[in-house]
């Protein structure tokens, strides 16, 4: 069995994000970058399948600048077998889904597992678009995954508004991981050292023969409004009046 | 108070990177054969994973472990909740083997990087790291001195977490005076001996983290010479190790009691009885009797560096906690608005005296990290150059020897003081158990006591190390310092401070000459009286040198890179200020210490015992 997983390079959730001077994006200097946490969950799930099955190959893909190597190395250190870095300059979700479609055609995996969304732009689009392009079944926001029929089909539990939904579908398929699917492992010291020797293929997106232009333009990026300072009220009555009159929550 | 496991641990990775790579240039190591199987990127990944382990696993069981402590029941020691799971995760990650040689199945990473990994783990949970740290130390002894048979029997278990390790030196009447030990070893056959005696203050002496404990124990073979010349080193497993490597029944090693301590409460400190009611079999480490002290001494540099790091690491998290509190806590108005009773309350970080305390802590932490890092890097260069350039290797080994007592004593003394200042920043809030700094203070006191008290370090420095390689080590140390002072006395950013360092260094040399004089004249009581002040003065000079060197690097980075973020610019400014502040506020203690040494004042020796107090 072959499983393709993704690893997007995103700012560390602990980093303080500042909007850049011309309001078109974020200030990137001095930021620490990590693997998108939802992608980490996807990688973990692929590794668990590999461990349960005994034999499977886990291929990890990242699309973006050459710096994405760092995130691919993390995935390899966790236990993925090899990596593919597709270099592309600031692609939008549509372009990424086109790129991944090509990679899937090259690799013919039995399963694609991705994070449900990336924590930087929260687009939540690529998994869905990729499944559509491939004409494969998709299951998004999954919190449980079980393979059956010797890896020929899958049953997923997905988190939906107000409850859980269980889906069964044949493979190949695209699934996207939600937070509760698993808890990703640490990259161990032996894993980190082994990762150096694992193959990392580099592909230039422009060689894939696809449209890479952005279909979405970012007009402006703004920080969330700063929270005003609180104030101490003298009495319960004053508090209720403020909640009714100013905050309008009662 | 809630028993919820809160993680108070805080780390400053940016500062650690700065010291390791920008200041000390550790990345150069990876270009040499001994370390070329690794890269900085690998090390960065290991740092990230270690930080995660610290925040998610080790940190959250630090204060709960302190409160719960270890218990001894029916001869079995139980560690606090969560320690077993943490032990398992630590070894799965492979962290304790970071600097273990490739030959012994480790990763042979640089000691300088290991120092930073240790800083994280020790800061998160100092007590927990005792168990793995001592296992590493004991394993190293076997790796260096053991026979092939010893290695085959013990090393795998000690590099996989199956076995814990200890160092059994002290006895009830033999602490600093190791030569006075009375534990005996009676030869049976081959390298097997019957061990009989009692050992105390044994950290990790027994616990439930590993399936077996391997004690490295000093004992006296019957008929051996008196004193330290007649001491041999033995490997004594708690449980008999079967032919297939599994652990069998108890080897008559009994945990008699656990100490009730001021701090490091989740590290089990045991009194152990060997061979009390039956045969306790130990194995001579290596094939030679009566060389136990020599073997121990060889390993002491690493162990003493480790204790220095302990002092530094706990202080570093104490400082970062105090800093967070100072930013958050509002009290009083700005001094500039002292006439206005309605002026807004400000965070206490805005008050000058709080800033003074914070910068004092910061500069000491920057200094401790730099000097411990420097010493570790010297160790790494010894590894790199050992066979390639014996002269340079000897230079680096000499600096390791010279810096060992300084790193151990300086970092343990100053680390404790930083924790004390951290409590002062918190005020009353720091004195209560809701906040972590009181535990940091309690945990830190032991560092100046164990692994050779700080006075033992001072004696090691003045009696042995100053004369290392016929004085060449000291000459090299002073030469590096003089070169720095000459090159930078006119520097626009740190020239004045460099000149001050130059003056201090001259005073230190005068004091050093006085010390040598006392030695030559056989005035041993005065030699030992001035040893500690001399070591303190020399430490200040060494640390100030490194901090000014770091300030130069930072000043360069700050003024040459025009694309850096405001945060980076401020970071470098902080490093410059840290060096200047240390030179002006802290380092000048050198002048009073040296004055005392040169005064030849004998009051402390001549005062009659009754002069201390007549009420005995």
| Nearest Cα to Cα of residue B35 among B115, B132, B105, B112 | B112
- CB B509 within 8 Å of CB B478: yes
For the ranges B104-113, B314-323, B334-343, the lowest mean pLDDT is seen at B334-343
Tell me the CATH number for domain B295-334+364-599.
Answer: 1.20.140.10
Structure tokens of B169?
């030196």
- Preferred mutation among A189, A191, A196, A198 to probe B, highest tally of B CBs within 10 A: A189
Above 50 in pLDDT, residue A223? yes
Q: With an 8 Å Cβ cutoff, is A29 touching chain B?
A: yes
Q: How far is CA B613 from the centre of its chain?
A: 36
Backbone angles phi, psi at A155, to 5 degrees: -120, 130
Q: With an 8 Å Cβ cutoff, is B182 touching chain A?
A: no
Q: With an 8 Å Cβ cutoff, is A54 touching chain B?
A: no
For residue B95, give the chain A residue with the closest CA.
A189
Percent of chain A topping pLDDT 90: 75
Above 90 in pLDDT, residue B277? no
Of A30, A73, A193, the CB nearest to B568: A30
Asked if residue A246 belongs to a domain, the reply is no
Tell me how close the Cα of B53 comes to any Cα of chain A, in angstroms.
Answer: 8
CB-based contact B565 A70, cutoff 8 Å: no
For residue B54, give the chain A residue with the closest CA.
A186
pLDDT band for A231, please (50, 70, 90 cuts): confident
Q: Is pLDDT larger for residue B4 or for residue B61?
A: B61
| Nearest Cα to Cα of residue B53 among B97, B143, B118, B131 | B118
Q: With an 8 Å Cβ cutoff, is A77 touching chain B?
A: yes
- pLDDT, tens digit (0-9, with 9 covering 90-100), for B32-79: 999 999 999 999 999 999 999 999 999 999 999 999 999 999 999 999
Size of interface A-B (CB pairs under 8 A): 46
> Running DSSP on this structure, what letter comes out for residue B8?
-
pLDDT band for A138, please (50, 70, 90 cuts): very high
Residues of B in contact with A196 (CB under 8 A): 39, 42
- pLDDT, tens digit (0-9, with 9 covering 90-100), for B127-159: 999 999 999 999 999 999 999 999 999 999 999
Rounded to whole angstroms, the Cα distance separating B48 from A68 reads: 16
Asked if residue A245 belongs to a domain, the reply is no
For residue B98, give the chain A residue with the closest CA.
A189
CB-based contact B38 A193, cutoff 8 Å: yes
Tell me how close the Cα of B306 comes to any Cα of chain A, in angstroms.
Answer: 21
CB-based contact A192 B42, cutoff 8 Å: yes
Pairing relation of β-strands A173-177 and A138-148?
A: parallel
Q: Which strands form A153-160's sheet, in the order they lie side by side?
A: A163-170, A153-160, A138-148, A173-177, A111-115, A2-6, A57-64, A82-87, A200-204
Tokens 């500062």 -> residue: B15
For residue B42, give the chain A residue with the closest CA.
A192
- Mean pLDDT of all residues in B516-523: 91
Asked if residue A240 belongs to a domain, the reply is no
- pLDDT, tens digit (0-9, with 9 covering 90-100), for B480-517: 999 999 999 999 999 999 999 999 999 999 999 999 99
| Nearest Cα to Cα of residue B495 among B555, B574, B538 | B555
Tokens 């000390």 -> residue: B24
CB-based contact B92 A188, cutoff 8 Å: yes
pLDDT band for B266, please (50, 70, 90 cuts): very high
For residue A69, give the chain B residue with the closest CA.
B41
Q: With an 8 Å Cβ cutoff, is A231 touching chain B?
A: no
Q: With an 8 Å Cβ cutoff, is B46 touching chain A?
A: yes
Residues of A in contact with B568 (CB under 8 A): 29-30
Of A30, A73, A192, the CB nearest to B567: A30
Q: With an 8 Å Cβ cutoff, is A202 touching chain B?
A: no
Above 90 in pLDDT, residue B353? yes
CB-based contact B45 A190, cutoff 8 Å: no
CB-based contact A192 B97, cutoff 8 Å: no
Residues of B in contact with A30 (CB under 8 A): 564-565, 567-568
Pairing relation of β-strands B269-274 and A82-87?
A: unpaired
Residues of A in contact with B92 (CB under 8 A): 186, 188
pLDDT score recorded for residue A54: 87
Whether B451 is catalytic is yes
Contacts of B199 (CB under 8 A, 6+ apart): B168, B169, B170, B171, B183, B205, B215, B217, B271, B272, B274
| Catalytic one of B360, B451, B497, B549 | B451
Tell me how close the Cα of A121 comes to any Cα of chain B, in angstroms.
Answer: 22
The CB density around residue B539, as the number of other CB atoms within 10 Å, is 27
CB-based contact A192 B52, cutoff 8 Å: no
CATH of the domain at A125: 3.40.50.620
Asked if residue A107 belongs to a domain, the reply is yes
Residues of A in contact with B53 (CB under 8 A): 186
Structure tokens of B315?
């202080």
Cis amide prior to A172 (ω within 30 degrees): yes
Residues of B in contact with A197 (CB under 8 A): none
Vertex A88 angle, CA A87 and A89, to 5°: 130
Taking the alpha carbons of B52, B53, B55, B56 in that order, is the dihedral positive or negative?
Answer: positive
- pLDDT, tens digit (0-9, with 9 covering 90-100), for A179-196: 999 999 999 999 999 999
Local structure of A162: helix, strand or coil:
coil
Structure tokens of B404?
């060992």
Residues of A in contact with B15 (CB under 8 A): none
CB-neighbour burial class of residue B148 (10 A; exposed 0-12, middle 13-18, buried 19+) = exposed
Angle between helices B524-560 and B566-581 (to 10 degrees): 150
Q: With an 8 Å Cβ cutoff, is A230 touching chain B?
A: no
Rounded to whole angstroms, the Cα distance separating A76 from A65 reads: 18
Contacts of B460 (CB under 8 A, 6+ apart): B404, B405, B452
Percent of chain B topping pLDDT 70: 99
Of B37, B95, B568, the CB nearest to A189: B95
pLDDT score recorded for residue B300: 81
pLDDT band for B1, please (50, 70, 90 cuts): very low
For chain A, how many structural domains are there in total? 1
CB-based contact B53 A186, cutoff 8 Å: yes
Tokens 């086109």 -> residue: A98
ipTM over 0.95: no
Structure tokens of A142?
């999954």
Tell me how close the Cα of A143 comes to any Cα of chain B, in angstroms.
Answer: 22
CB-neighbour burial class of residue B86 (10 A; exposed 0-12, middle 13-18, buried 19+) = buried
Q: With an 8 Å Cβ cutoff, is B45 touching chain A?
A: yes
pLDDT band for B168, please (50, 70, 90 cuts): very high
What domain range includes position A113?
2-225
- pLDDT, tens digit (0-9, with 9 covering 90-100), for A81-121: 999 999 999 899 999 999 999 999 999 999 999 999 999 99
Local structure of B545: helix, strand or coil:
helix
Above 60 in pLDDT, residue B2? no
Going from N- to C-terminal start, the domains of chain B cover 295-334+364-599
Rounded to whole angstroms, the Cα distance separating B568 from A30 reads: 7
């Amino acid at each position: 069995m072959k499983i393709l997983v993704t690893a997007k390079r995103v700012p560390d959730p602990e980093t303080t994000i500042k909007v850049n001077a011309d309001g078109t994006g974020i200030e990137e200097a001095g930021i620490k970058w990590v693997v998108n946490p939802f992608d980490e969950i996807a990688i973990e799930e692929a590794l668990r399948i590999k461990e349960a099955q005994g034999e499977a190959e886990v291929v990890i893909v990242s699309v973006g600048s050459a710096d994405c190597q760092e995130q691919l190395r993390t995935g390899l250190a966790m236990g993925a077998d090899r990596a593919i870095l597709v270099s592309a300059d600031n692609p939008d979700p549509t372009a990424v889904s086109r790129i991944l479609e090509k990679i899937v055609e090259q690799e013919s995996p039995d399963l694609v597992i991705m994070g449900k969304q990336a924590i930087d732009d929260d687009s939540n689009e690529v998994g869905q678009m990729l499944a559509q392009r491939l004409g494969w079944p998709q299951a998004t926001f999954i919190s449980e995954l079980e393979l059956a029929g010797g890896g020929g089909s899958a049953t997923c539990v997905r988190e939906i508004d107000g409850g859980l939904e269980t889906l069964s579908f044949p493979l190949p398929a695209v699934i996207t991981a939600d937070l509760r699917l698993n808890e990703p492992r640490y990259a161990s010291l032996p894993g980190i050292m082994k990762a150096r020797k694992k193959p990392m293929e580099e592909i230039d997106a422009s060689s894939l023969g696809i449209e890479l232009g952005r279909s979405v333009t970012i007009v402006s990026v703004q920080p969330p409004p700063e929270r005003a300072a609180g104030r101490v009220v003298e009495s319960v009555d004053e508090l209720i009046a403020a909640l009714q009159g100013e905050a309008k929550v009662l | 108070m809630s028993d919820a496991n809160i993680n108070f641990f805080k780390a400053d990775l940016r500062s650690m990177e700065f010291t390791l790579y920008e200041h000390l240039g550790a990345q150069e190591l990876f270009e040499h054969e001994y370390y070329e199987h690794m890269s900085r990127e690998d090390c960065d990944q290991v740092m990230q994973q270690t930080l995660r382990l610290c925040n998610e696993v080790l940190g959250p069981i630090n204060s709960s472990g302190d409160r719960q402590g270890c218990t001894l029941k029916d001869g079995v020691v139980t560690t606090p909740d969560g320690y077993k799971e943490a032990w398992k995760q630590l070894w799965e990650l492979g962290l304790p083997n970071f600097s273990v040689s490739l030959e012994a199945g480790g990763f042979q990473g640089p000691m300088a990087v290991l120092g930073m990994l240790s800083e994280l783990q020790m800061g998160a949970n100092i007590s927990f790291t005792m168990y793995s740290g001592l296992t590493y130390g004991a394993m190293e002894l076997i790796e260096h001195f053991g026979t092939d048979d010893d290695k085959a029997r013990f090393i795998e278990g000690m590099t996989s977490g199956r076995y814990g390790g200890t160092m059994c030196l002290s006895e009830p009447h033999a602490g600093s005076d190791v030569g006075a030990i009375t534990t005996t070893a009676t030869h049976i056959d081959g390298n097997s001996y019957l061990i009989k005696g009692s050992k105390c203050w044994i950290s990790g002496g027994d616990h439930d983290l590993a399936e077996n404990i391997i004690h490295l124990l000093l004992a006296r073979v019957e008929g051996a010479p008196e004193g330290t010349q007649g001491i041999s080193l033995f490997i004594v497993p708690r449980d008999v190790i079967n032919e297939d490597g599994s652990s069998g029944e108890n080897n008559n090693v009994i945990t008699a009691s656990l100490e009730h301590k001021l701090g490091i409460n989740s590290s089990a400190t045991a009194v152990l009885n060997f061979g009390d009611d039956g045969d306790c079999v130990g194995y001579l480490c290596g094939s030679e009797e009566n060389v136990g002290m020599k073997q121990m001494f060889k390993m002491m540099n690493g162990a003493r560096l480790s204790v220095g790091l302990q002092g530094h690491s706990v202080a570093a998290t104490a400082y970062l906690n105090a800093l967070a509190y100072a930013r958050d806590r509002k009290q009083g108005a700005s001094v500039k608005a002292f006439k206005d009773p309605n002026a807004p309350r400000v965070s206490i970080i805005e008050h000058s005296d709080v800033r003074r305390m914070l910068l004092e802590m910061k500069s000491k932490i920057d200094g401790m990290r730099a000097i411990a890092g420097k010493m570790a890097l010297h160790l790494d260069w010894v590894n790199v150059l050992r066979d390639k350039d014996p002269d340079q290797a000897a230079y680096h080994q000499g600096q390791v020897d010279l810096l060992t007592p300084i790193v151990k004593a300086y970092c343990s003394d100053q680390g404790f003081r930083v924790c004390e200042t951290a409590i002062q920043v918190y005020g009353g809030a720091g004195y209560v158990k809701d906040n972590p700094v009181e535990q940091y203070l309690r945990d830190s006191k032991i560092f100046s006591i164990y692994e050779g008290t700080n006075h033992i370090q001072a004696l090691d420095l003045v009696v042995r190390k100053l004369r290392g390689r016929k004085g060449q080590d000291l000459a090299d140390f002073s030469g590096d310092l003089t070169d720095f002072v000459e090159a930078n006395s006119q520097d626009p950013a740190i020239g004045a401070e460099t000149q001050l360092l130059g003056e201090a260094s001259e005073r230190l040399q005068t004091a050093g000459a006085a010390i040598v004089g006392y030695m030559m004249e056989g005035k041993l009581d005065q030699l030992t009286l001035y040893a500690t002040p001399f070591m303190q003065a020399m430490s200040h000079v060494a640390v100030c040198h490194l901090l000014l060197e770091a300030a130069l690097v930072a000043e360069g980075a700050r003024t040459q890179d025009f694309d850096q973020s405001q945060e980076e610019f401020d970071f470098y400014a902080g490093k410059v200020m840290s060096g200047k502040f240390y030179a002006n506020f802290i380092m000048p203690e050198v002048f009073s210490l040296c004055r005392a040494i040169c005064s030849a004042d004998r009051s402390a020796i001549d005062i009659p015992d009754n002069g201390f107090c007549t009420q005995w």
